[in-house]
Structure 1
Amino acid sequence: MFSQSTNAATQKISPDLPLTTEQGNLVNQILEFTTAHLNEPGPAIFTVYGDAGTGKSVVLAHLFNQLQTQARTATDSPLAHTENYFLINHPEILKVYREIAGHQQYLLKKDFQRPTSLINRTTKGRVHPDVLVIDEAHLLLSQADHYNNFYGDNQLTSLMRSAKVIILVFDETQVLRMKSFWTEQRLETLVSPYTHAEYRLTHQFRMQASDNLVRWINAFTHQHLTPLPTHVGSNYDLRVFDDAEAMRQAVVQRNREVGLSRVVATSGYPSTLDGGKHYITEGRFHLPWDQYNYTSTPWAELPQTINEVGSIYTCQGFDLNYVGIILGPPVSLDQDHQLAVHLDRYTDVEAFKRRSDLTDPVEIVQVKRQLILNSINVLMKRGVKGLYLYAHDDHLRHYLQQRRA
């Protein structure tokens, strides 16, 4: 039986991991950009674009380790004695980076912060950031959010007021909530007045699957339903289940064998942030949603979470070995064999909060629909070794089972 390591997630993005030639060249390119613009009127902004699993986070981990090593050891470097921070607006991923800091000589846990915390400390004059590295920048708030103690209009705008150089990674297909609504066009409009550069990563590193399956996921999550590919790679396990409980049992077996295997689900089931347990029931399947994780260990690495159902809020940004996904009531197959998205069945009430800059009813519906599809994209791309699917909708489930290209 597999004994799950408590630092499996850190091993996926550790700066000790080898980089590909492209990734190494990108790190060097960003370092050169940073030193070239460090003493100019800022901010200078470097954006790394890339889909889920294209290696964005490991590039940032290497980059930040080199930045801090030079800042703290290289007295003749332009980076000497600079004050630099790594930001991530996701508490579970923040735990991973702080764990990494504990194993690197020149990284400190305090180097890794939530954006709101750094913004508030900067406003009070307690910190004076030179370089900011932002992972999952598509999670930055783009409107005020009193729940998160952010009272500005846009977190990136607030950060740009103080930093000299900002390096961020961005994927518009991982935008999940109205309060962090972004598109590439909105980002590019924001940074266009400043010195900026960009790079796009395209190679899929996470999934040991064929490009056919990645293309199918991308099409599915843009509401283009096509038959599942037959050939998905000799090292990848793709299955569609008629029974959610049977899928759960398969995931449990994979977890015993290789660890880091979990069942996850889309919204569409009872879920309230009231501290209680809320269950997903699909026939024989009956498990609670993920509980708030107060520990320093990421949710997926806690042994007991094999008996919970993960969500985008615990799984986004993480590698799982095998992922079993329940596609909930918000998605179905219509009479024309097209993928239908039902906004009224989405139970994540936080996702659709109103924005003052979105007033066109047609655009609002389109954005909400894409947020739901984005959440599916995030979940489908979690599995390194395998993807197991179960659909709540009978017609969609039978289509996925029977149609293979």
Structure 2
Amino acid sequence: MQASISAATFKLADQAALSPAQQRLEAQLLTFITAHLNQAQPGLFVIHGDAGTGKSAVLAAAFSQLQARSRDSKPTALQGTDNYLVVNHNEMLKIYKRLAADDPDLRKKDFQKPTPLINRLTKQERQADVVFIDEAHLLLTQPDRYNKFTGQNQLSELIKRSRVVVLVFDTRQVLKLKSYWQANDLQPFLDQYPHQTFNLDQQFRVTGNQQVVDWIDSFGQGHLLPRPTDPNFDFKIFADGQPMYDLIRQKDRHGGLARMVATADFPYVVNHGTWYVTAGSLKLPWDKVNLTDDPWALRPETLNEVGSIYTIQGFDLNYAGVILGPSVGYDEVHDRVIVKPDKYEDQEAFKNRDDLGQLEPLKRAIIFNSINVLMKRGRYGLYLYAVDPVLRRHLLAL
């Protein structure tokens, strides 16, 4: 996904912008949809890939192609099909709707959150033809009264109400127990329905070399590699948050889309005043509830805030200043990065469930997932500050 200051923090890539692998994927997708549209069972097409591998870009490009054929005046196998792209993420939904305005083949109503679409199709007793699901790892896997979802699993409900389902799935981006997916949780669906899978493994967002990508991946597995060097990627570790913020402001002045983000380690209650993130001498407010149609990273005033995983997941920044909060530490005895769920302030992420077995390992996985999401936001630079003094010392010593 390419950064674009004027349009969005990711853009719907045109055919020329897609890599050879992405072009193959787009062609396979449209062939699969055409072949399975009128079969007895729904067809599933699963796209795997880590953060930054261009999953949303190719999904959006293929959906635009699908809608162009659906709305074409010339008769084709896809003409007149009723199709939707759903994402269980408010900020990403805003991006899709914003970009729909610039594409003659797309309508804002083509993009939905999963629960309203499920409820509407159920009420109307009808099936959609094709449903694309971006960030399917964010789909609920239990009922949720807050979201008015009464079923047990949103993916299951969407499959029941569709002829073909195309989903993007990455278990390393699961951020809550109520939408907890493990690597084998898709298997029962694959066993039941005809399917294809495709894996995207080329990193498109982080422009750093393999050293940079390996360093981030290893951190998420608890290991500190030697400090990566890449003349074309700005990787810096800070002893204090204020100089990091000063550099982010400077980068934003020169090229835009530079923002501060943090792990969910600082108290925050929705609609109850202003809550702050602290990083050494730096003190900035958390991101506010965004009631506008503009995504968080595109609003100039958010340069004075700290974004969360829920604000920034799925989006490109040019430069990301990442604050690793108190839940991220270092075990000097075993020489590894550790996470401490008891210090993680996002209690909504850890709402207890009695159907997942031991929750502590899952909670640790969620924190490491959130770190992976945050560290892979910046296309041209990653800046780090660790609140935990032991981890900070080890990072600075690299």
What residue in structure 2 maps to residue 8 of structure 1? 8
1:285 aligns with 2:282: yes
Q: Percent identity?
A: 47
What residue in structure 1 maps to residue 395 of structure 2? 400
**Structure 1 unpaired stretches of 5+:** none
Deviations 1:151-206 (A, max 9, x none): 11000000011100001111111000001101221012233210011010000000
Q: How does 1:192-211 map to 2 (within 5 A)?
A: 192-211=191-210
1:389 aligns with 2:384: yes
Amino acid of the structure 1 residue aligned with 2:219: F
Amino acid of the structure 2 residue aligned with 1:69: A
Larger CA deviation: 13-22 vs 273-282: 13-22
Q: Is the CA contact 1:15–1:65 (under 8 Å) kept in the aligned structure 2? A: no
- Normalised to the residue count of structure 2, the TM-score between the two structures is 0.96
**1:328 & 1:309 partners in 2: Cα distance?**
12
User: Per-residue deviation at 1:260?
Assistant: 0.4
1:370 aligns with 2:369: no
Larger CA deviation: 383-392 vs 280-289: 280-289
**1:72 & 1:93 partners in 2: Cα distance?**
24
Q: Is the CA contact 1:6–1:297 (under 8 Å) kept in the aligned structure 2? A: no
**2:132 & 2:16 partners in 1: Cα distance?**
19
Deviations 1:5-33 (A, max 9, x none): 442325x3344762122211110111001
Q: How does 1:225-374 map to 2 (within 5 A)?
A: 225-229=224-228, 231=229, 233-336=230-333, 337-359=335-357, 361=358, 364-374=359-369
What residue in structure 2 maps to residue 217 of structure 1? 216
User: Per-residue deviation at 1:226?
Assistant: 2.8
What residue in structure 1 maps to residue 99 of structure 2? 100
User: Per-residue deviation at 1:213?
Assistant: 1.5
Q: Is the CA contact 1:178–1:352 (under 8 Å) kept in the aligned structure 2? A: yes
**1:53 & 1:140 partners in 2: Cα distance?**
19
What residue in structure 2 maps to residue 39 of structure 1? 38
**2:163 & 2:377 partners in 1: Cα distance?**
34
Q: Is the CA contact 1:222–1:370 (under 8 Å) kept in the aligned structure 2? A: no
Q: Aligned residues, how many?
A: 394
Larger CA deviation: 189-198 vs 33-42: 189-198
Secondary structure of 1:45 counterpart: strand
Amino acid of the structure 2 residue aligned with 1:370: A
Q: Is the CA contact 2:176–2:350 (under 8 Å) kept in the aligned structure 1? A: yes
User: Per-residue deviation at 1:354?
Assistant: 1.7
- Normalised to the residue count of structure 1, the TM-score between the two structures is 0.94
What's the C-alpha RMSD, in Å, of the aligned pairs?
1.4
**2:280 & 2:79 partners in 1: Cα distance?**
60
Amino acid of the structure 2 residue aligned with 1:151: T
Deviations 1:240-275 (A, max 9, x none): 000101100110000001000000000111111234
Larger CA deviation: 253-262 vs 282-291: 282-291
Distance 1:127 1:106, change over 3 A: farther
